[in-house]
Amino acid sequence: MGTLLSYTNAVTKSSSCLLIAFLALLPVRAATLPPAQYQQLAHEIYKQLIEINTSYSTGATTPAAQAVAARLRAEGFPASDIQVLGAADHKMNVVVRYHGAGKRKPILLLAHLDVVEAKPSDWSMDPFKLTEKDGFFYGRGTIDDKAQAAIWIANLIRYKREGFQPDRDIIVALTADEEGGGPYNGASWLVKNHRELIDAEFALNEGGWGDLSNGKPVSNNVQVSEKYVATYRFEVTNKGGHSSLPVPDNAIYRLAEALTRLAKYKFPAQTNEVTRAYLEQMAKVAPAAEAALMQSAAKGSAQAVEALANSSTALNATLRTTCVATMLDGGHALNALPQTAGATVNCRVLPGTKPEEILATLKRIVADDQVSITPKGEIVAGPASPLRQDLMRAASRISDTMWPGVITVPTMVMGATDGLYLRNAGIPTYGIQGLFIELNDFRAHGRDERLGIQQFYEGQAFLYQLVKALAQP
């Protein structure tokens, strides 16, 4: 998911306390798992994908795309329905179409094959080997995003073996370079160059997972919108000089003052359609005081919105645009006054806010014309997806059957996924996975990334049922 860890809506320890009162009421899980042969199939695909190094910088997605294509051909999918193509020889995507009756536009099932880098010496095991230990699958990409990629393919094969006849085509696209973006990003490239292969009424993607608290499922989240990323370069330059002759106009000090002003600033807290729906749902399971604030905020109380934003890191990121310094550089010698000092400021911007508004706000906050502020790279903003009632109803029904009492919650994630490119192309996209992860143990992009074994197979069962429900004749 872009940098999944950065864009996650993972609720932090401070906000997870809102759920404690409800957790004691939850029954024991009674989730139905897939038949053993399809668990084994999903495991084989998962293992194969994990053990292909598809890292953005040091790996390649093409071997993974080719492996998936070969498996599909072996299952009898026509070669004409399987496409391996991309922006570069080492950055290929695989797209497969399972034909339905054509009564409605297709569903697109999206996942990405690439992963962030993993330094083996930092891990307690080989990151590019699927390791099963203590009830978990370990390996780079176990969460982000090879679980969903493996599940989409395993379930598609199951539909074919079972003779399922949907009333619409089901398209699976496993893509390159979601983590790194740039010219090889598969979703963007397919939209621009082969829209006909992935054109759909809507897409299901990563970015929405389930929350566990102490092993108990709390909510199954549906990502309906996302913040977009805007990164800026703050820079100060001056003539410098010898360090034995300090002057008031020091580039590092001036930059530090600008960053201090940024650190003290809070963008206005606000809600939108998605976050209001999120607060309405979460109010059902929160303790009384927090529930009252959530209900008021969902109804438009600016005071309640501000109070919630100030109550936890997660809610602050949900209800505000945020800008934070992430990198610093400056100076050229230990005995010289700095001639330049710079910082990278990474912003996660609420949908509906224009990039030029953010730039204007940053300049106003800094209030120093000697601090230049310039965007780094292209800034791509995108709309929210409409709240589809058929999707929400199906997800709610299946969730409540598999995990009785668990609510289905629309969410906005704090960063970016490839859903951004699809939404901008007019394909509404929803992050939904049915993969439950501990609130305070989200390891995507980190050391010893892992996903619960039980949770993997439950997610497989959930997505199998969800896609069938959305494609039933």
Confidence of residue 31 (pLDDT cuts 50, 70, 90): low
Confidence of residue 13 (pLDDT cuts 50, 70, 90): very low
Residue 91 included in any domain:
yes
pLDDT tops 80 at residue 314: yes
Residues 272 and 225: beta-carbon distance below 8 Å: yes
Side chain identity at 242, as an amino acid letter? H
What would the pLDDT profile of 241-262 be if each residue is shown by its tens digit? 999 999 999 999 999 999 999 9
Residues 340 and 380: beta-carbon distance below 8 Å: no
In 39-87, where do the E strands start and end?
A: 82-86
Q: Write the CB contacts of 210 (distance below 8 Å, at least 6 apart in sequence).
A: 217, 218, 219, 220, 221, 403, 406, 433, 434, 435, 436, 437, 455
pLDDT for res 57: 87
pLDDT for res 142: 98
pLDDT for res 469: 98
Distance of CA 76 to the CA centre of its chain: 33
pLDDT tops 60 at residue 18: no
Quote the CA–CA distance of 226 and 224 in Å, as a whole number. Answer: 7
Average confidence score pLDDT of the chain: 92
pLDDT for res 328: 98
Quote the CA–CA distance of 206 and 433 in Å, as a whole number. Answer: 6
User: Do 144 and 205 lie in a common domain?
Assistant: yes
Quote the CA–CA distance of 115 and 1 in Å, as a whole number. Answer: 9
Q: Which domain holds residue 27?
A: 4-226+383-470
User: Do 345 and 401 lie in a common domain?
Assistant: no
- In Å, the largest CA–CA distance within the chain is 81
Quote the CA–CA distance of 444 and 277 in Å, as a whole number. Answer: 26
Residue found by looking up tokens 């780079």 in the block: 140
Mean pLDDT, range 445-470, rounded to an integer:
97
Residues 180 and 407: beta-carbon distance below 8 Å: no
User: Do 187 and 87 lie in a common domain?
Assistant: yes
pLDDT tops 60 at residue 431: yes
Burial environment of residue 204 by CB neighbours within 10 A (0 to 12, 13 to 18, 19 or more): buried
pLDDT tops 60 at residue 275: yes
CATH of the domain at 101: 3.40.630.10
Confidence of residue 300 (pLDDT cuts 50, 70, 90): very high
pLDDT above 90 coverage of the chain, percent: 85
β-pairing, 82-86 vs 92-98, is antiparallel
pLDDT for res 28: 40
CATH of the domain at 339: 3.30.70.360
Mean pLDDT, range 371-393, rounded to an integer:
92
Confidence of residue 1 (pLDDT cuts 50, 70, 90): low
pLDDT for res 6: 36
Mean pLDDT, range 269-298, rounded to an integer:
93
pLDDT tops 70 at residue 451: yes
In 245-391, where do the E strands start and end?
A: 322-330, 336-337, 340-349, 372-375
Task: Pick the last residue of a domain from 330, 351, 375.
Answer: 375
Burial environment of residue 247 by CB neighbours within 10 A (0 to 12, 13 to 18, 19 or more): exposed
What would the pLDDT profile of 94-123 be if each residue is shown by its tens digit? 999 999 999 999 999 999 999 999 999 999
Task: Pick the last residue of a domain from 349, 375, 401.
Answer: 375
Helix (H, G, I), strand (E, B) or coil at 328: strand
pLDDT tops 60 at residue 10: no
User: Do 198 and 50 lie in a common domain?
Assistant: yes
Residue 313 included in any domain:
no
Burial environment of residue 134 by CB neighbours within 10 A (0 to 12, 13 to 18, 19 or more): exposed
Burial environment of residue 252 by CB neighbours within 10 A (0 to 12, 13 to 18, 19 or more): middle
pLDDT for res 181: 74
User: Do 36 and 146 lie in a common domain?
Assistant: yes
User: Do 221 and 241 lie in a common domain?
Assistant: no
Residue 353 included in any domain:
yes
Mean pLDDT, range 54-83, rounded to an integer:
97
pLDDT for res 140: 98
User: Do 424 and 356 lie in a common domain?
Assistant: no
User: Do 131 and 234 lie in a common domain?
Assistant: no
Residue 151 included in any domain:
yes
User: Do 217 and 152 lie in a common domain?
Assistant: yes
What would the pLDDT profile of 200-240 be if each residue is shown by its tens digit? 999 999 999 999 989 999 899 999 999 999 999 999 999 99
Burial environment of residue 454 by CB neighbours within 10 A (0 to 12, 13 to 18, 19 or more): middle
Residue 462 included in any domain:
yes
Quote the CA–CA distance of 388 and 202 in Å, as a whole number. Answer: 10
pLDDT tops 50 at residue 311: yes
Confidence of residue 56 (pLDDT cuts 50, 70, 90): confident
pLDDT above 70 coverage of the chain, percent: 93
Q: Write the CB contacts of 134 (distance below 8 Å, at least 6 apart in sequence).
A: none
User: Do 202 and 245 lie in a common domain?
Assistant: no
Phi-psi region of 182 (alpha: psi -120 to 50; beta: other; left: phi over 0): left
Confidence of residue 5 (pLDDT cuts 50, 70, 90): very low
Number of domains, the chain: 2
Residue 446 included in any domain:
yes
Residue 184 included in any domain:
yes
Residue 305 included in any domain:
no
User: Do 23 and 164 lie in a common domain?
Assistant: yes
pLDDT tops 70 at residue 12: no
Confidence of residue 29 (pLDDT cuts 50, 70, 90): very low
Task: Pick the last residue of a domain from 375, 395, 415.
Answer: 375
User: Do 205 and 329 lie in a common domain?
Assistant: no
Mean pLDDT, range 272-300, rounded to an integer:
92
pLDDT tops 80 at residue 160: yes
